[in-house]
Amino acid sequence: MGYFSVLKVMITQGPPNVIFALKGELDLTTSRILRKEVEKIELDKVASITFSLNELKFIDSTGIGQLIGYYRSFAKQHTSVYIDNKNADIEEVLELIGVREIMET
Amino acid sequence: MLNDSKLMSELLNELARLEESETKNDESLLGQRHGGLAIVGGQLLMKKPERGGKWPTISAAKGSRVKIFYRGKQIDRSLVLEDIDDIKFEVMQDPAQSSFEIVVSQDKMEVWLVTKFAPGVEYQVCDSDYTTNLVVTAKEVAQHPPQPVDPALVLQQLESLGVKIELYNNQIRSACYGLESGKWMIGVGIPPKPPVDGRVDVVCDLTGRQMQEEQGGRVDLLDRGKISSVEPGEVLAYWHPPVEGEAGINVFGATVKPRPPKRARLSAGSGVRLMEDGTVAVAEIAGRPCWDRGRLCVRPELIIPSDVDVSSGNIEFIGDVIVMGDVKDSLVVKAGGMVEVRGNVYNARIIAGGNVVIHRNLICGHVSVGGDIGNYMKAITLIKQIIPELKNLQKAFQQLQGHPRFSVEDLKIRGDGYLIKLILEMRFAEIPKLFARLQQLAPEQKDPKQDDEINNIWAVVNHISNCFKGANPLSIRSISEVDVYLKGLGEVCEWMEDVVSTPADIQVSYCQNAQLEATGDIVITGPLVYGCTMFAGADINIAGSCRGGTYCATSNIKVKSAGLNERVKTILAVGDEGSVMAGTLNPGVYVAIGQRKKVIGEIRRNVRLKFEEGRWIDKAGSGVF
């Protein structure tokens, strides 16, 4: 967490339905790692993007904001964005903020 | 004086010489037969006439200083002389003059020495050659200076007069020896110290109104400024009590009393109380300060004897206002207390803290009493929706702060506003919308005609609303700021509820296309109401018919006849517990009780509609409606 945060982003499934598996901490310091990985994909070949948070240990408001940002920007290009999460603690965070009001599993 | 007599003497001598030369001419004509008289060295000489000649005459020049006596008797006309032995001359002399007089001023506070000095003048008879008609004159031959006055005599006279003050001795001496006539002050008494008159300092404005100049020198003729008014407890005037003077002493040593001081007492009339031993006048009631028969009063009411129009300007008064005439187009009457209009109100604005009574018609006007009830009620509803939502937002934020899988490290850099905005967007999207609706109720600009308190309330509403608009939540540094906003909204709501719950009624005879807002009842006594909008904090009672318009009451609406047909939209709305009573409900009338709405399809008579236990009930009729 904080200055020693680590995030590993793996693409577990390729286009058209891309799945990014996030492991570690998604916060202010690691958000750029996710951004670089997302920027690599070719959107014209992608129908949906799923972020798997099952192995995520921590998230902060920057991380949440980044996921919401992707949801909004890809929605304009008719690409669906989902969150796959079986981690109850992280799910509680998502619900508290209200992410689940717009982003489905 | 001396110069005048000298001049006169010279003139007389000249006259005598002229007469003498004429006589000589006569003699030259008649030869040496006539007799003659001459004066040489002051001695009278005579030459008797020859046979056939004239006897000489003698007379004193008119106004001259010479008196001629014939055999001891003064002659006052020309006398024919036979012999000079019986003639005597007497020449009047001007003796030197030195005198003084003591003068005491009328108030006996000053003593003056008046001196008179005049030099003495010596005259003697003028010489003359032989002449038949001798006119005797005198001439000035010497002057003698006057003698100085003896100061001892002056002091002696002062003593005999009873003057007992310290005298200016140097002045006396110079006056006595100066040989100049004049008036010299030689002593003064000790004047009394004058008293300080009592006075009243009025510190409130009794002048009425002052027109205020706008920017650029423009003057709003309708805005004549506030009528001067005071609040209870406000100091109106101070009385400065009189201070007695101190006695003095006059030139005779007698005590001189000072004049009694003027008291200028402060008298309290109605609405004024004297405090601090009668030295401070304080307003007991709110109203207009004025003088009434020498008494300071506070009048709770302002009476406008005629119309409120361009000549009177807008009326703004802290107490009650009574308008004996009409309130004309575009004028504003604003009162802290009640307003009574004996005439009509035409497209004017009436704002009152208390009841409003309009004896005749209200056409196109706007009357609000007890406050801006319509907006306040809407604002209260919105604030009551916002507050629990904001508390939920705050709770969610705090739960996230303490969550083991949520990091708040980034908020130290970004500020709490970032997360607040996320939560607002995701979960509480209604909050910014509610704030936007609340803000629409607030006036766009500070209304200079409104009280500062009302302006401040709306300023708070605006400020808090802005904080939750658009990207503005990002500028919230700490979640604790939300506490401040919650407290502010609570206070605004409480203030508005206070205003709304203080009942103030409106009573009008007839109204048309007008807007009426009252925290209490609205009562229309006349036969018709047409196209009006009414908000009543309590009941609306319309004795006649109401056709068209919106009529909202928190409690009940009672009307003889509502609506006309489907094309005339008439809305009757009451609160959840309220009822709508109508002699006639025409088709098309829209009835709302709380959130329940109903449109009358066919004419209904003698109804009292309520909504109870989930259904419409006609309490006056068959029951179920």
CA of A78 to nearest chain B CA: how many angstroms apart? 20
Q: Is B251 helix (H, G, I), strand (E, B) or coil?
A: coil
- B247 — pLDDT class (breaks 50, 70, 90): very high
Q: Which of A54, A87, A94, A96 to mutate to test the interface with B (most CBs of B within 10 A)?
A: A96
Q: Which of B186, B281, B266, B282 is nearest to B232 (CA)?
A: B282
Q: Cα angle vertex B340, ends B221, B533, to 5°? A: 85
pLDDT of residue A33: 92
CA of A69 to nearest chain B CA: how many angstroms apart? 11
pLDDT at A13 over 90: no
The type of residue at B181 is S
- Minimum Cα–Cα distance from A100: chain B residue: B426
Q: Could you give the CA distance from residue A55 to residue B35 in angstroms, rounded to a whole number?
A: 176
Q: Is B4 helix (H, G, I), strand (E, B) or coil?
A: helix
C-beta separation of B131 from B37 below 8 A: yes
* Contact across the interface for A96 and B396, Cβ inside 8 Å: yes
* Contact across the interface for B408 and A1, Cβ inside 8 Å: no
**Burial of residue B368 (number of CB atoms within 10 Å: 0-12, 13-18, 19+):** buried
Buried b (16+ CB within 10 A) or exposed e, B118-139: bebbebbbbebebbbbbbbbbb
Give the ranges where B296-408 is alpha helix by DSSP (H).
Answer: 373-401
C-beta separation of B519 from B500 below 8 A: yes
pLDDT at A5 over 80: no
| Residues with Cβ within 8 Å of residue B429, at least 6 apart in sequence | none
Average pLDDT, rounded, for chain B: 87
Q: Could you give the CA distance from residue B134 to residue B21 in angstroms, rounded to a whole number?
A: 11
* Contact across the interface for B422 and A65, Cβ inside 8 Å: yes
Evaluated on CA atoms B380, B384, B390, B395, the torsion sign reads positive
pLDDT of residue B277: 87
pLDDT at B497 over 70: yes
Q: Could you give the CA distance from residue B545 to residue B537 in angstroms, rounded to a whole number?
A: 21
- Minimum Cα–Cα distance from B409: chain A residue: A2
- For A2-101, which CATH superfamily applies? STAS domain (3.30.750.24)
pLDDT at B488 over 90: yes
User: Does residue A16 have a cis peptide bond before it, meaning omega lies within 30 degrees of 0?
Assistant: yes
pLDDT at B188 over 60: yes
Residue among A27, A58, A97 minimizing CB distance to B426:
A97
Q: Which of B269, B271, B280 is nearest to B235 (CA)?
A: B280
The type of residue at B126 is C
pLDDT of residue A76: 87
pLDDT of residue B511: 94
Count of CB atoms situated within 10 Å of the CB of B435:
25
pLDDT at B31 over 80: no
**pLDDT digits 0-9 by tens, B441-465:** 887 665 555 567 788 888 999 999 9
**Burial of residue B40 (number of CB atoms within 10 Å: 0-12, 13-18, 19+):** exposed
Residue among A27, A90, A98 minimizing CB distance to B410:
A27
Helix (H) or strand (E) run with residue B158 in it: helix B151-161
340-399 of B, contacting A, C-beta below 8 A: 396, 399
C-beta separation of B464 from B436 below 8 A: no
Which one-letter DSSP state was computed for residue B55?
A: P
B264 backbone φψ class: left, alpha, beta (φ>0; ψ -120 to 50): left
Give the ranges where B402-451 is alpha helix by DSSP (H).
Answer: 409-414, 416-426, 430-441
Q: Could you tell me the residue ranges of all domains in chain B? A: 2-187, 323-370+507-624, 373-501
* Contact across the interface for A93 and B403, Cβ inside 8 Å: yes
* Contact across the interface for B406 and A62, Cβ inside 8 Å: no
B218–chain A Cβ distance below 8 A for any pair = no
Per the model's pLDDT, the better-predicted residue between B171 and B205 turns out to be B171
pLDDT at B620 over 80: no
Percentage of chain B surpassing pLDDT 90?
55
Specify the pairing of strand B315-317 against strand B320-323: unpaired
pLDDT at B105 over 80: yes
Q: Could you give the CA distance from residue B214 to residue B596 in angstroms, rounded to a whole number?
A: 50
Mean pLDDT over residues B218-238, rounded? 78
The type of residue at B476 is I
Residue among A28, A90, A98 minimizing CB distance to B409:
A28
**pLDDT digits 0-9 by tens, B277-289:** 889 999 998 888 8
Q: Which of A3, A28, A60, A85 to mutate to test the interface with B (most CBs of B within 10 A)?
A: A60
Residue among B399, B403, B426 minimizing CB distance to A98:
B426
* Contact across the interface for A97 and B422, Cβ inside 8 Å: yes
| Torsion, Cα of B491, B496, B498, B502 (10° steps) | 170
Mean pLDDT over residues B249-259, rounded? 91
Mean pLDDT over residues B552-575, rounded? 91
| Residues with Cβ within 8 Å of residue A31, at least 6 apart in sequence | A62, A63, A66
Mean pLDDT over residues B45-53, rounded? 88
pLDDT of residue B39: 93
**pLDDT digits 0-9 by tens, B407-425:** 888 898 889 999 999 999 9
Per the model's pLDDT, the better-predicted residue between A11 and B532 turns out to be B532
* Contact across the interface for A58 and B411, Cβ inside 8 Å: no
Mean pLDDT over residues A25-50, rounded? 89
Mean pLDDT over residues B127-152, rounded? 91
pLDDT of residue B237: 93
- Minimum Cα–Cα distance from B427: chain A residue: A98
Which one-letter DSSP state was computed for residue A100?
A: G
Q: Is B438 helix (H, G, I), strand (E, B) or coil?
A: helix
Mean pLDDT over residues B183-195, rounded? 93
C-beta separation of B505 from B536 below 8 A: no
**pLDDT digits 0-9 by tens, B142-161:** 999 999 999 999 999 999 99
Residue among A27, A57, A96 minimizing CB distance to B400:
A96
A76-90, B58-72, B219-233: lowest mean pLDDT where?
A: B219-233
pLDDT of residue A2: 43
Q: Could you give the CA distance from residue A19 to residue A105 in angstroms, rounded to a whole number?
A: 12
Q: Looking at beta carbons, which residues of chain B come within 8 Å of A101?
A: 426-427
- Minimum Cα–Cα distance from A101: chain B residue: B426
pLDDT at B525 over 90: yes
Q: Is A21 helix (H, G, I), strand (E, B) or coil?
A: strand
- Name the E strands within B513-569: 515-518, 522-524, 528-536, 540-553, 556-562
- A1 — pLDDT class (breaks 50, 70, 90): very low
Count of CB atoms situated within 10 Å of the CB of B306:
12
Q: Which of B411, B425, B426 to mutate to test the interface with A (most CBs of A within 10 A)?
A: B426
pLDDT of residue B29: 45
Percentage of chain B surpassing pLDDT 70?
89
pLDDT of residue B378: 84
Q: Could you tell me the residue ranges of all domains in chain A? A: 2-101
Q: Tell me the β-bridge partners of B518.
A: B369, B536
**pLDDT digits 0-9 by tens, B366-393:** 998 876 777 888 899 899 899 999 999 9
* Contact across the interface for B409 and A60, Cβ inside 8 Å: yes
Q: A-side interface with B, Cβ within 8 Å?
A: 1-2, 25, 27-28, 56-62, 64-65, 68, 87, 89-90, 92-93, 96-99, 101-102
Mean pLDDT over residues B490-495, rounded? 91
Per the model's pLDDT, the better-predicted residue between B448 and B125 turns out to be B125
Q: Is B451 helix (H, G, I), strand (E, B) or coil?
A: coil
